[in-house]
Every structure is written in C-alpha cells, then in structure tokens.
Amino acid sequence: MFISPFWIVCSYLLQVAESTLWSRVERIQISDEAVDLRDAYIKTGIVTDQYEDDATHVALATLVRADVIASWNFRHLVNPSRIRGFSGVNAMQGYGPVVILTPADLNRILEESDEYKDKDS
C-alpha cells in the first residue's frame, strides 16, 4: 500500500490544527446552579423538558457570561420569543440577558466591528 507524502503532511497539519483549537476551548462543568437555571427555563415553559440540552446550553452560557451563543437552532434558541423568555428568567434569577445569534449574523457583526477591521483599511 502506498501512502502519499501529501496525505501524511495534510494529516499532520490537521492534527496540529485540531489540538491547537481544542487547547483554546474552555470546558465548562454542569453545576447545580446550571441545573437550577435550566430547570427554571423549563418550569416557565420556555422549552419543554424534551429539549433540556438546549436549556442547559443557555444556562451554562449565562453562568459564564458568554458574550453570545451562536446557533442554527431556530426552533429553540435563535427565536425572539425564547430569547426574551431566557432573558426574563435570567433577570428574575439575578443574571444578565442572553444574546443568541446565527453564526452568519455573528460573523457579519464581527466583520463590521471596528475591533475586528483590518488595520490597513
């Protein structure tokens, strides 16, 4: 069997990129506080317990004060009514609002932001 040197190099570069990417990802443990917040979202009917993973996602992002949640999940996350609901529960619990955007919207905002504009333009 012949293995192309190109394939070996590509495989190596992919491994390096992946390890670099994962080294920059913050891992978050599900705490009792996150479970309580998730349960509050479910209890108020923002999402049903069938979608507790979505509620957990929002609870964890809330607790770590994430700037934004990027998602393509229009039914349960990128939905104005649900975003207002999540933010309302957060306010009642003493947390800040959540911002949930599609990756495309987030990318557009970042590209338009002065902070991310190319210094040469």
pTM (two decimals): 0.74
Rounded-to-10 torsion of CA 86, 100, 113, 94 = 20
Give the start-to-end residue ranges of the domains of the chain.
Answer: 32-110
Render pLDDT for 33-88 as a digit per residue (tens, 0 to 9).
999 999 999 999 999 999 999 999 999 999 999 999 999 999 989 999 999 999 99
Asked if 85 and 37 count as a contact pair (C-beta separation under 8 A), the reply is no
Which is higher by pLDDT, 56 or 14? Answer: 56
